Structure 1
Amino acid sequence: MKKTVSRAALVGVALCLFFIIFQISVSSTSRFLKYATNSAKPNQEEGTRKLKVINQPNSHPPKSLRLRVESPIICDRTDIRYDLCSINGPTFLDPAKFTFFIIGSAKHSIMEKVQPYPRKFEKFIMPRIKNLTLTSGPQRPPCKVPHNVPALVFSAGGYTGNFFHDFNDGFIPLFITVHTIFHDQDFVIVVSEAPNWWPSKYADLLTVFTKHPIIVLKNDTPTHCFPSAKIGLISHGFMTINQTLLPNSKTFLDFRVLLDRAYTPQAQPKVLTSKDTNPRPKLVLASRKEAKGRSILNQEQVIRLIKKVGFDVVVFKPKNKTPLNESYALLNSSHAMVGVHGAALTHSLFLRPGAVLVQVVPIGVEWAAYAFFGRVAKGLNLQYSEYKIGVEESSLVSKYGKGSLLVKEPFALQKTGWDPEIMDIYLKEQNVKLDLIRFKACLKKAYIKAKRFMEANG
C-alpha cells in the first residue's frame, strides 16, 4: 500500500511541476512578445523623425510621417545647393536678432541655424551669408506687426550685384520655390540681407511674386508674426528650371511670362507697318569694353561687319544703375543678341521666344557657356548658336604662347574641377579678337534666322 501511494504522490508532484513550468513559459513568451512589439515602436518613430520631409500645401503625408510633419521646426539639409527649413505653426520674427521664435509649447527645446542662400556647396561665399536662428525659446518678443499669410525668407547677399547671380541665385530659385511650396497661395517675402539698391531695382519684378511689401531685416526693427514660415530657396542647378521636379510642370517659358507681367507696359515690340519697305532686324551687341576680361578687342570692326551683313546694331552696356524696364524694352523689341560669355548675356532672358542668340565662347569656358546661357536659350526656345573662338583669337596666346597647356589643353587643367586661379585666367585675363571672316559666316546664319523671326513677329 505504501509503495502504491508513493508512486501516486510522485506522479502528482511531477504533474504539478509540469503545469508550473508551462505557465512560466507562457507568461515569459507573452512578456517577450509584448516587449518586442513595444520596443519596435520607438525605433520606427525614431526613423520617422530622421526623415527630411518638407510640408507642402495640399499634401497629405502618410500616417507614419504625420508625427514628423507636425514638428514645429523641420530642416531639410539633404541637397548640395540649399537648405530649406519650415516653421509649421505661428512664429515671431525679431529682425534685430535675426531670429524666428515659435509660438506655443514644444516638448523639447529646438534650435536650428540656416543660411538661406542657394550656394551651399561654395566655401568661398557661404561664410559671408548671415545665419538665421529658428528656436522654440526661451524668450519670445511681443508681436508688433501681424501678418495673416506665411513668410518666405531668403538672402539677397552673396554675389548679388552681379546680374547673372541676381537671377541664378535669386529670382529663378524664387520662382521654383514659389511654385513648389506656395502655388496659388499668398505670402510675404522676407529678405534677410540685401544691398540698399536691391529692393528698388527689382521692385516691379518682386510685386509679381507677392502683393505684400518686402521686408528687409536690416532695414526693419519691429517684431513681426506669421502663421508659418519657409526659410531658404530651392535651386535646380545653374540657370535651370527642371519641370519634372515641379508639381505643376513650370518651365522657363512660364518664367518669361512672369517677366512680361512685370515689364510689358514699357516693353511692347515695334510692329511692322506698310511704310517699313525694307526693315532690318535689330541686333543687340552686349559690350564688355569696360569690363575686366572677355572684351572684344576689335569691337568697332565687328560692329561694321554686323551692319554690313544686314542688321541694325544697338551697343548695349548695362550698368548696375540701368533701369531694368529699359533693358527689358530693348531686348524684348530686338530680333537677335550677340555677346561674349559674361553676366550681360543674362539679359537674353528678355528676348522673345524664337529670337536669335549668338554666344561668343572664349577658350576654357565651354562648359560654363552652355550651363549658364545655352541652357536658358533652350528653355526659352531661342535660336541659339555658339561661336567658339580659335586659339589665335585669344589674347592668352601673346601672354602664355601657343605651346602653353593653358591655351592648347584647357580641359586638361579643369579635370579636377573649377579651380578659381585657373578660371581667373580664362575669365579675367582673356580678351578676344574675332576673326572677321569666320565670324561673318556665323553672322550670316544668324541674320537669316532673325529676318524670318522679324517678319513673323514684328
Structure 2
Amino acid sequence: MSLPWYSLRGYTGNFFHDFNDGIIPLFITIHSVFSENQEFVLVISKARDWWVRKYADLLQTFSKHPIINLDNDSSAHCFTSATIGLVSHGFMTINPKLLPNSQTLIHFRSFLDRAYGRHRGENHATTVNSLKRRPRLVLMSRSGGVGRVILNQIQVKRIAEKIGFDVTIFEPTANTPLWQAYAVINSSHAMVGVHGRAMGLEYMEYRIEVEESSLVDKYDKNSLMLKDPIAFQGKKWSNDIMSIYLKEQNVRLDLARFREYLKNAYKKAKKFVDKGDSD
C-alpha cells in the first residue's frame, strides 16, 4: 500500500488558503499518482488539532483508511512507496490536461458533495430556498474588526433583491461547521464577497476604486498605497503591509457601478435557473 504525505506548516487556518494551497493540490496529487481503485493511506504532519478536526470529513473522503498524523503517532508503519509533497496547477485551478483521468473542478465539487452532502437534510433553510425560482445570491459577511467588511452591505442586499436575487447574508465563524457553509454556498447561484473565489462558478472580478476603500479616510488618497498597491508593496509582502490591506481596510461599494455587475451576474444565474426548471 502507498501513502501521500504532506506538511501543513504553511499558511493554514484561512479558508481560502486552506483550499488553494492545501485541499485542491492534495486532490490533484492523489489523482496524479493513484489509480481510481488503488488504496492508499493519507499521512499528514505539522497540523494543529483544530485544523484536523475542522477538515476531518473532507480528509477522510480521500481514503477509506484512517488518517495518520505523525505529530501524535509514534507507531511504526510500513508502506511499499510514498509520495511526499503536493502538486499544484496554479491559483484555484485543476487542469484536466495534466491529469491522467482528466479531472476538473466539477469533479472536485462532486468530491465535496460526497464529504458534506450527507448533511443536506440538516439545513432546513437550504431545502426551503431550493423551492424558489429566483436565483439565489449569498452575500458573505464579515464583522468584528477583521477587515474587508462591506460597509454598505444592507444597501447592496437591497439592490440585489430589486434586480431579482433571493439574497442570503452568511457570516461564517471559526466554529461554523463546514457542511453548513458548503450547504449554503452549494445551493446558491452567485456569491459576493471581498477577496474570494467560488469553485465551479464563473469568477467576476470587481476592482474597487480609491474612494471605495476605507483607507482613504486614514491615508492620502493620492498616496502610492492607494493608487498602486502593487508598486507600494513591491516584492515584499510584509506583516505590516498585510495588516493594512487585509485587517485595516473595509470597502464601501459604489452602488451605481456595482449594480451593473449584479445585473450581469443575475442574467447568467437566471439562465441557469431557467435551464434547471426546463430539465
Paired position in structure 1 for 2:143: 289
- Aligned pairs for 1:337-356 (under 5 A) are 337-341=191-195, 345=196, 348-349=198-199
Aligned equivalent of 2:189, options 326, 335, 350: 335
The structure whose Rg is larger is 1
CA distance in 2, matches of 1:389, 1:339: 12
Query: Which amino acid is 1:417 matched to?
Result: K
CA distance in 1, matches of 2:241, 2:51: 31
- After superposition, the Cα gap between the structure-2 partners of 1:432 and 1:194, relative to the gap in structure 1 and judged at 3 Å, is same
Structure 1 residue 272: deviation in Å?
Answer: 9.2
Aligned equivalent of 1:255, options 99, 108, 113: 108
The alignment partner of 1:386 has SS state of: coil
TM-score, with length taken from structure 2: 0.87
CA distance in 2, matches of 1:396, 1:225: 55
1:433 aligns with 2:252: yes
TM-score, with length taken from structure 1: 0.55
The alignment partner of 2:113 has SS state of: helix
1:322 aligns with 2:141: no
The alignment partner of 1:388 has SS state of: coil
Structure 1 residue 215: deviation in Å?
Answer: 1.0
Instruction: Provide runs of 4+ in structure 1 moved above 6 Å.
Output: none
Paired position in structure 1 for 2:164: 310
CA distance in 2, matches of 1:419, 1:304: 36
Query: Which amino acid is 2:115 matched to?
Result: A
CA distance in 1, matches of 2:109, 2:99: 16
Query: Which amino acid is 1:444 matched to?
Result: K
Paired position in structure 2 for 1:189: 42
Instruction: Name the structure, 1 or 2, with higher relative contact order (CA <8 Å, separation 6+).
Output: 2
Paired position in structure 1 for 2:9: 157
Paired position in structure 2 for 1:396: 215
Cα shift readout 1:54-87 (whole Å, capped 9, x = no counterpart): xxxxxxxxxxxxxxxxxxxxxxxxxxxxxxxxxx
Aligned equivalent of 2:204, options 385, 392, 398: 385
Aligned equivalent of 1:409, options 210, 228, 242: 228
Paired position in structure 1 for 2:24: 172
1:289–1:296 CA contact under 8 A, matched in 2: no
Aligned equivalent of 1:443, options 251, 262, 277: 262
**How many residues of Structure 1 are paired with residues of Structure 2 in the alignment?**
271
| Worse-matched range after superposition: 224-233 or 168-177 | 224-233
Query: Which amino acid is 1:436 matched to?
Result: L
Aligned equivalent of 1:227, options 80, 91, 103: 80
Structure 1 residue 270: deviation in Å?
Answer: 5.4
- 5+ residue gaps, structure 2, are none
- Aligned pairs for 1:69-80 (under 5 A) are none
Query: Which amino acid is 1:408 matched to?
Result: K
CA distance in 2, matches of 1:238, 1:310: 32
1:160–1:166 CA contact under 8 A, matched in 2: yes
Structure 1 residue 257: deviation in Å?
Answer: 2.0
Structure having the larger proportion of residues in strand: 1
1:188–1:214 CA contact under 8 A, matched in 2: yes
CA distance in 2, matches of 1:320, 1:272: 25
Paired position in structure 2 for 1:22: none
The alignment partner of 1:219 has SS state of: coil
The alignment partner of 2:71 has SS state of: helix
What's the % identity of the aligned pairs? Answer: 58
Aligned equivalent of 2:98, options 245, 248, 251: 245
- After superposition, the Cα gap between the structure-2 partners of 1:449 and 1:339, relative to the gap in structure 1 and judged at 3 Å, is same
- 5+ residue gaps, structure 1, are 1-148, 350-379
The alignment partner of 2:182 has SS state of: helix
CA distance in 2, matches of 1:394, 1:301: 17
